[in-house]
A and B are shown apart, each in its own frame.
Chain A
Amino acid sequence: EAGVVQSPRYKIIEKKQPVAFWCNPISGHNTLYWYLQNLGQGPELLIRYENEEAVDDSQLPKDRFSAERLKGVDSTLKIQPAELGDSAVYLCASSPLPGSEQFFGPGTRLTVL
């Protein structure tokens, strides 16, 4: 069974530029999460989807971050414009049910110069 797929794996941009991350969850997993992970820290939840509905986006900085999960499968996380402090690893995870084990993708390492 294929795991969670994320692309790109690495991205280097200059500040004020836009960037987008893509995630394809495990087939059949209705719950999808986007996390941000800073070096030496645990993942921090940005947004959680149940199917195509964002059920918790309270931690998403909405002035510059946006996300969508059209058709309840793939998801895209966008930052526009990027700031230096956005440099981090962006992880996508999926689970078959809310609260059940989460399967993480390899992440996208973003560097903002």
Chain B
Amino acid sequence: QQPVQSPQAVILREGEDAVINCSSSKALYSVHWYRQKHGEAPVFLMILLKGGEQKGHEKISASFNEKKQQSSLYLTASQLSYSGTYFCGTDSGSARQLTFGSGTQLTVLP
């Protein structure tokens, strides 16, 4: 079952914040976040493991609520380089492989 991402698209001005959500109908072992720029390969951002931990990567952080089977990606003080499509990938644990959402297209304008 593919996770559901929201919103589908968001447009920001440089310096603004954004939140991208990922929701699954299945119990999750981990959630991965990737960013893909147009015509390029997806690039790994972070993994969140079962346990509700929050992780950070510069001004990008994420949380994982295993009870709600949801993860959120937080982008603070957006930079132009943050533009791209963000995918969450969910791992239910049994197969140890990812099912990706359909992505959230983020555009940061000057």
Contact = CB atoms under 8 A, between A and B. Distances in A.
A28 interface: no
A interface secondary structure, majority: loop
Contacts of A45: 97-99
B11 interface: no
A79 interface: no
Contacts of B47: 100-101
A85 interface: no
Interface residues of A, number: 21
Contacts of B100: 42-44
Contacts of B44: 101-103
Interface of B: 2, 29-30, 32, 34, 40-44, 47, 87, 89, 91, 95-103
21 contacts: A4-B41, A33-B97, A41-B103, A42-B89, A42-B100, A42-B101, A42-B103, A43-B42, A43-B100, A45-B97, A48-B97, A56-B95, A91-B41, A91-B42, A98-B96, A101-B32, A104-B34, A104-B41, A104-B43, A106-B40, A107-B41
